[in-house]
Amino acid sequence: MRILGIETSCDECSAAVVDNGRTILSNIIATQIEAHRPFYGVVPEIASRMHTEWIIPVVKEAIEQAGIEENTIDAVAVTSRPGLIGSLLVGMCFGKAFAFSKGIPFIGIDHIEAHLYAPHLEQDISYPYIGLLVSGGHSLITYVRDFDDYDVLGTTIDDACGEAFDKVAKFYDIGYPGGVAIDRLSKEGDDRAFNFPKPSLHKGDHQYDVSYSGLKTAAVNQLDLFWNGEAEKSRANIAASFQRAAIDIIANKAIKAARDKGVKKIVAGGGVSANSYLRRKMADQKDIQAIFPSLKLCTDNGAMIAGLSYHHLKKGRQSELNLNASARVPLFKKNYP
Ligand code: KG4
Ligand code: ZN
């Protein structure tokens, strides 16, 4: 089955052609980073407008690079949730029109589930495992039994992990996108220079939940309170110390979840899963096998959408053409009283 996958949930305009949920024939990712850089964050109106300009050439390029005829595409899969609503709608409208005009199935895909599927495009991974999803908008620890069967064990109660990276980078003018810039600068820094807090307040049902607003505020506003007097006060040291705290918060919970559940495997996905400290830390856990996607498949891309959709389509599932996009998925975010 040959699937055209489209992903426009945020600031990447991406289209891919994937055969049988595994063979990537093309995966075009047109990033809008330069357009958003002056604002140190994604501006929704700019993002959706650029998607409308880019979607046709990006899909054309994906088909061309795959070296296939348009009429050999069997189905169209598009991110339908969660994400920026205006951006999602561009991919959805295009995908529906394409599928309708060709008379082939259309299916809306959850982009968080697709992030967790990304490493499956590159290797055989057996279930169950602990899924660790860390992106700009979400932070989730899941117990995964199959591609469509998982429990959310923990999530953030406030900011997402990637969001904290982006805010701290913005405050210290470290670069954009924040996660990439902090990761790079951290290599020159001492990650023990600042003792930033790693909140872990939740017990029982909430024991795998995480919180980032305290760490973000500490890194931004209360630098002097967490200062290690022996170290130099530099942006590289702030970056490295913040990165260690931000990653430890969620990685330690994922490791605990794996041990608690008797699972020996953690599969990561999402933009922050590109982080070098996270990868090193996971590699150090000798009792746990950690699986990461390649760097290109960590951030938003059409291949993971096409890849995951194959398994749904194979089970006979598809979406109606009146499917709407959703900005949020309630299961992925907790509202604490
Ligand atoms: O998955 P993604 O492309 O988009 C969302 O679905 O949100 O993730 C983007 C996030 C941004 O917050 C970005 O700063 C972060 O991933 N990121 C990183 C790294 N590369 C990207 N964070 C930490 N370390 C990295 N190397
Ligand atoms: Zn994403």
pLDDT tens string 104-144: 999 999 999 999 999 999 999 999 999 999 999 999 999 99
Q: How far is the CA of 136 from the centre of ligand 1 (A)?
A: 5
Per-residue pLDDT, 314: 98
Per-residue pLDDT, 201: 64
Residue among 117, 250, 299 to mutate when testing ligand 1 (max atoms within 8 A of CB): 299
Ligand 1 atom with the shortest distance to the CA of 9: 6
Closest CA to 80 of 331, 280, 322: 322
Q: How far is the CA of 298 from the centre of ligand 1 (A)?
A: 8
Backbone φ and ψ for 202, nearest 5 degrees, come out as -95, 130
**Confidence bin at 336 (pLDDT 50/70/90):** low
Other Cβ atoms closer than 10 A to 337: 2
For ligand 1, atom 3, the nearest C-alpha belongs to 299
Ligand 1 atom with the shortest distance to the CA of 269: 1
Per-residue pLDDT, 333: 73
Closest CA to 292 of 257, 262, 265: 265
Domain 2-116+299-332 has CATH 3.30.420.40: yes
For ligand 1, atom 14, the nearest C-alpha belongs to 179
Q: Which CATH superfamily is domain 126-292 in?
A: ATPase, nucleotide binding domain (3.30.420.40)
* pLDDT per position as a tens digit, 40-76: 899 999 999 999 999 999 999 999 999 999 999 999 9
d(CA 83, CA 44): 10
Closest CA to 80 of 324, 329, 299: 324
Residue among 272, 305, 332 to mutate when testing ligand 1 (max atoms within 8 A of CB): 272
pTM of the predicted model as reported, rounded to 2 decimal places: 0.95
Beta strands in the chain (DSSP E): 2-7, 12-19, 23-31, 75-81, 106-110, 129-134, 139-146, 149-155, 265-269, 289-291
**Is the distance from the beta carbon of residue 135 to the nearest atom of ligand 1 less than 6 Å?**
yes
* Residue 134 near residue 271, CB atoms below 8 Å: yes
**Is the distance from the beta carbon of residue 183 to the nearest atom of ligand 1 less than 6 Å?**
yes
Q: Distances from the Cα of 236 to the Cαs of 80, 219, 278, in angstroms?
A: 38, 13, 17
Least distant ligand from the CA of 298: 1
If you average pLDDT over residues 21-26, what whole number do you get? 98
- Per CATH, 2-116+299-332 and 126-292 having the same topology is answered yes
Closest CA to 101 of 62, 71, 78: 71
**Confidence bin at 200 (pLDDT 50/70/90):** confident
Residue 272's Cβ-side half-sphere holds a number of Cα atoms within 13 Å equal to 27
**Is the distance from the beta carbon of residue 179 to the nearest atom of ligand 1 less than 6 Å?**
yes
Domain extent listing, the chain:
2-116+299-332, 126-292
Rounded to 10°, the helix 235-261/161-171 angle is: 170
Per-residue pLDDT, 216: 95
d(CA 177, CA 116): 21
d(CA 258, CA 28): 34
For ligand 1, atom 22, the nearest C-alpha belongs to 179
pLDDT for residue 337 is more than 60 = no
pLDDT for residue 214 is more than 80 = yes
Across the beta sheet with 23-31, the strand order is 23-31, 12-19, 2-7, 75-81, 106-110
Burial class (CB in 10 A: 0-12, 13-18, 19+), 229: exposed
Per-residue pLDDT, 335: 61
Q: What single-letter amino acid sits at 90?
A: V
Residue among 79, 110, 132, 135 to mutate when testing ligand 1 (max atoms within 8 A of CB): 135
**Confidence bin at 334 (pLDDT 50/70/90):** low
d(CA 22, CA 159): 33
**Is the distance from the beta carbon of residue 209 to the nearest atom of ligand 1 less than 6 Å?**
no
**Is the distance from the beta carbon of residue 162 to the nearest atom of ligand 1 less than 6 Å?**
yes
* pLDDT per position as a tens digit, 218-247: 999 998 899 998 999 999 999 999 999 999
d(CA 147, CA 145): 7
Closest CA to 60 of 73, 48, 50, 47: 73
- Average pLDDT over the chain reads 95
* pLDDT per position as a tens digit, 151-199: 999 999 999 999 999 999 999 999 999 999 999 999 999 999 999 988 8
**Is the distance from the beta carbon of residue 47 to the nearest atom of ligand 1 less than 6 Å?**
no
pLDDT for residue 212 is more than 60 = yes
Least distant ligand from the CA of 139: 1
Across the beta sheet with 289-291, the strand order is 149-155, 139-146, 129-134, 265-269, 289-291
pLDDT for residue 39 is more than 80 = yes
Which residues on adjacent β-strands are paired with residue 76?
4, 106
pLDDT for residue 332 is more than 90 = no
* pLDDT per position as a tens digit, 258-291: 999 999 999 999 999 999 999 999 999 999 999 9
Closest CA to 301 of 266, 329, 274: 274
